[in-house]
Chain A
Amino acid sequence: MAEITGTTWTCYDSNTMTQAEIYGRVLTELGEKDPRVVGVTADLANSTKIGVFGKAFPDRLFNVGIAEQNLFGVAAGLAKSGLIPFASTFAAFASMRAAEQVRTDICYQNLPVKIIATHAGVAFGQAGTTHHCLEDIAIMRAFPNMTVIVPADGIETANAVRASMDIPGPVYIRVGRGFEPKFHASEDYGFRVGKAQRFREGTDLTIIACGIAVLQAAEAAKLLAASDGLSIRVVNMHTIKPIDREEVLAAIRETRRILTVEEHSVIGGLGGAVADVIAESGKGCAFSKLGFNDEFSVVGYPEDLYSHYRLDANGIADAVRAIMGRDFEEDESWEDEV
């Protein structure tokens, strides 16, 4: 019998836990090891699962009410005085309502505040466009000192949350809402911040994806091998900043075609970060970005929205086919590569 968890109705707990739930557990584990770990939230302790930590350490979770600007200011003050605050709210509020507090109080001071932003992208589909967030990667990437991580699933969220403790400055970890399917089989696949995971080898084209798109990209690669005889490389670019430049250069050099896929605007997110590397390399490469095309998202169930916006395996496969037929100028000399 499925059990309803949290406050939102499509969030069922089956055998796997949601990304946010795993985050809550890992944070509790970190809290046991390190007394500097504290939690801060703005009336979303249950929804973001930071409440799991709060149950274990009631004196170390501060709920400031529905006041996100205050939330990140308080987090900055806690960090400034030697603590390691994990601040959780929805991605839309963390990145937009409190953008200036994150920029000035946290990033400019280079304080170790770890922002775990949930319900990113269209994960909160039926809640409406106000609660979608397709801009946060672009906003957070623009702040100096900020590390930006978009885990592919709950297991990667666990790895990212643990790894964030070793980063001396601020970290933004972008997670969904809960019913994202599992991508990794276990936690032991060598997760490293800033080092992409090459999940599947291929020679015709590289799909560089993050978040929920990674699993769909892997499915698309399988499908394209079977139906089109294509050899598709799949890269899980979980860290958007700092971007794994070497992995992008390898994709240009070895496959000559790149498709980025993300649950985010095509402006300034993963696609933007990869485009920067391609453009700076000066090498010819067929390139396309799949994401939200400078448009506000419509309302619907997340699964439907992923199909609607062609972020599912079929949509990704079509985007790959479109690039395969494209011409570009090859440059075989890599001596001048910067």
Chain B
Amino acid sequence: MEAERLKRLEAAARQVRYDIVEAIGNIGIGHFGGALSIVEVLTVLYFSQMNASPANAKDPGRDKLVLSKGHAGPALYAVLAQKGYFPRETLFTLNQGGTSLPSHCDRNLTPGIDMTTGSLGQGLSVAIGMALADRMDGRKNRIFAIIGDGESDEGQVWEAAMAASQYGLSNLIAFTDYNKMNIDGLTSEIMNLDDLGAKWRAFNWNVLRTDGHDLEAIDRAIDAARLESDRPTMIILDTIKGKGCSIAEGKLSSHNMAISKEQKEKALGELSAAMGELS
């Protein structure tokens, strides 16, 4: 990736992270950890890979994303605001009465959201239906889906895994946000996913694995997934829950965490400093 493009992506990701911390920090509680762990993949998708913008929001041929781990909504909202789907100020209505930005993604309320999600395990199935429809109608776009590692405990995920490979949906590219943490403890202790790549390979998916915080690596992985012609692709992203925010990073408590005014200011200060270094 040329340096200029990488620099733009880095700046976009930092802004997304800053906006998540500010939006959740303003209300004092939210799904911090799981939102911060997918900042890089969302940035690469919307600022490098996906043909999706407010201008083509109604075009059936656009690329679409199902964020199946719907509790990470605040991360996607920050990206959509930066893309111009709605004003940045809207981010600060997060979770409040009458908002268009609820804690979990809602297609009925938020411009740019392609599917309502929140009850874990349901998103990949819907993504399959969308991919089947696009293929049937001869559209060349891609359907992207992001599931969580804890979400992978849900049986429906594996129903969907079988169906996507049965139908050879090469137009479906999915990601697992493998941040190794559930709500109640480490994923390895709650319900061990063991060799996650081997599981998806056994379901006959094309499986790639990469550092989920490396923008270039994610971009390359998606480029590689686009070359697959017979099977769906699962890109396992090794991530850190709460990434980039010292009060949350790598902490089990970060799933739905309370954050004080002081903590918010400290976190925003760190992120501003990092943004300064970048420019």
Q: What is the interface of chain A, defined by CB distance below 8 A to chain B?
A: 38, 59-60, 62, 64-65, 67, 69-70, 72-83, 85, 100-101, 104-105, 108-109
CB contacts (< 8 Å) of A59 on chain B: these are 136
CB nearest neighbor in B for A80: B130
CB contact list, B160-182 vs A, under 8 A:
160, 162-163, 166-167
Question: Are B137 and A70 closer than 8 Å at their CB atoms?
Answer: no
A contact face: mostly helix, strand, loop, or mixed:
helix
B43: interface (CB < 8 Å): no
Complex A-B: 6 CB contacts under 8 Å:
A69-B121, A70-B160, A73-B125, A77-B128, A77-B132, A109-B116
Known contacts A69-B156, A101-B156, then 7 further A-B pairs from the complex at CB < 8 Å, ordered by chain A residue: A64-B166, A69-B155, A70-B125, A70-B156, A73-B128, A85-B129, A105-B116
In the complex, the answer to whether A80 meets B156 with C-beta atoms within 8 Å is: no
Q: Which residue of B lies closest to A40 (CB)?
A: B129
Interchain pairs with CB closer than 8 A, number:
99
What is the CA–CA distance of A65 and B158 in the complex, to the nearest angstrom?
Answer: 12
Q: Which residues of A contact B108 (CB under 8 A)?
A: 108-109
A135, B145: Cα distance in complex, Å: 34
Instruction: Return the chain A residue nearest B124 by Cβ.
Output: A73
B133 near A81: Cβ-Cβ < 8 Å: yes
- Taking CB as reference atom, which chain B residue is nearest A64? B163
The CA-CA distance from A75 to B133 in the complex, in Å, is 10
- Contacting residues, chain B, for A65 (C-beta < 8 A): 159, 162-163, 166
Which residues of chain A are near B122, meaning CB under 8 Å? Answer: 69, 73, 100-101, 104-105
Q: Does B258 contact A (CB under 8 A)?
A: no
Which residues from chain A contact B131 at a C-beta distance below 8 Å? Answer: 77
B272 at the interface (CB under 8 A from A): no
Q: Is B107 an interface residue (CB 8 A)?
A: yes
- Please tell me if B119 contacts chain A, counting CB pairs below 8 Å: yes
Q: Write out the residue numbers on chain B whose beta carbons fall within 8 Å of the beta carbon of A38.
A: 136
Are A100 and B119 in contact (CB-based, < 8 A)?
Answer: yes
* Distance between Cα atoms of A324 and B122 in the complex (Å): 51
Question: Are B159 and A64 in touch, CB under 8 angstroms?
Answer: yes
Q: Give the complex CA separation of A69 and B120 in angstroms.
A: 12
Nearest CB in chain A: distance from B111 CB, A? 15
* Interchain CA distance A69-B122 in the complex, whole Å: 8
- Taking a contact as CB atoms under 8 Å apart, the answer to whether A74 and B129 are in contact is yes
CB of B214 within 8 A of chain A? no
In the complex, A70→B156 CA distance in Å?
6
Across the interface, B129 reaches (CB within 8 A) one of A60, A77, A100, A104, namely: A77
B125 touches A74 (CB 8 A): yes
Q: Nearest chain-A residue to B130 (Cβ)?
A: A77
Partner of B125, one of A79, A85, A101, A108: A101
Whether B115 and A80, one on each chain, are in contact in the complex, defined by CB atoms closer than 8 angstroms, is yes
Distance A105 CA – B121 CA, assembled complex (angstroms)? 12
Interface membership of B60, Cβ < 8 A: yes
Q: A residues within 8 A CB of B125?
A: 69-70, 72-74, 76-77, 101, 105
Shortest C-beta distance, A155 to chain B (Å), equals 32
Which A residues lie within 8 Å of B60 (CB)? 81-82
B22 at the interface (CB under 8 A from A): no
B134 to chain A, nearest CB (A): 6
Does B127 belong to the interface (CB within 8 Å)?
Answer: yes
The CA of A84 and the CA of B116, in the complex, are separated in Å by: 19
> Does B126 touch A at the CB level, under 8 Å?
yes
Most chain B CB within a 10 A radius of its CB, from A62, A75, A81? A81
Contact among B116, B129, B133, B167 for A108, CB-based, below 8 A: B116
Interface pair A80/B126, CB less than 8 Å apart: yes
What distance in Å separates the Cβ of B32 from its nearest Cβ neighbour in chain A?
Answer: 24
In the complex, which residues of chain B have a beta carbon less than 8 angstroms from the beta carbon of A100?
Answer: 119, 122
- Nearest neighbor of B127 in chain A, beta-carbon distance: A77
Proximity string of chain B (234-262) to chain A, C-beta cutoff 8 Å, 1 when within and 0 when not: 00000000000000000000000000000
Q: Return the chain B residue nearest A67 by Cβ.
A: B159
Contact A83 B136 (CB under 8 A): yes
Picked from B118, B132, B137, the residue with its CB within 8 Å of the CB of A74 is B132
Q: How far is the CA of A239 from the CA of B75 in the complex (A)?
A: 44
Q: How far is the CA of A62 from the CA of B128 in the complex (A)?
A: 11
Is A74 within 8 A of B128, CB to CB? yes
**Measured between alpha carbons, how far is A73 from B121 in the docked complex, in Å?**
10
Bound form: Cα–Cα A75–B126 in Å: 7
* Contact B126 A76, beta carbon cutoff 8 Å: yes
- CA distance in complex: A143, B108 (Å): 16
A76 to B121, CA, bound (A): 14
- Contact flags B80-110 to A (C-beta < 8 A → 1, else 0): 0000000000000000000000000001100
Check A62 against B159 for contact (C-beta < 8 Å).
no
| Inter-subunit contact B159/A104 (CB<8 Å) | no
Question: Which B residue's beta carbon lies closest to that of A73?
Answer: B125
Of B129, B132, B133, B134, chain A has the most CB atoms within 10 Å of the CB of B129
Asked whether A78 lies within 8 Å of B133 as measured between CB atoms, the reply is: yes
Contacts of A69 in B (CB 8 A): 121-122, 125, 155-156, 159
Residues on A with C-beta less than 8 A from B137 are 81-82
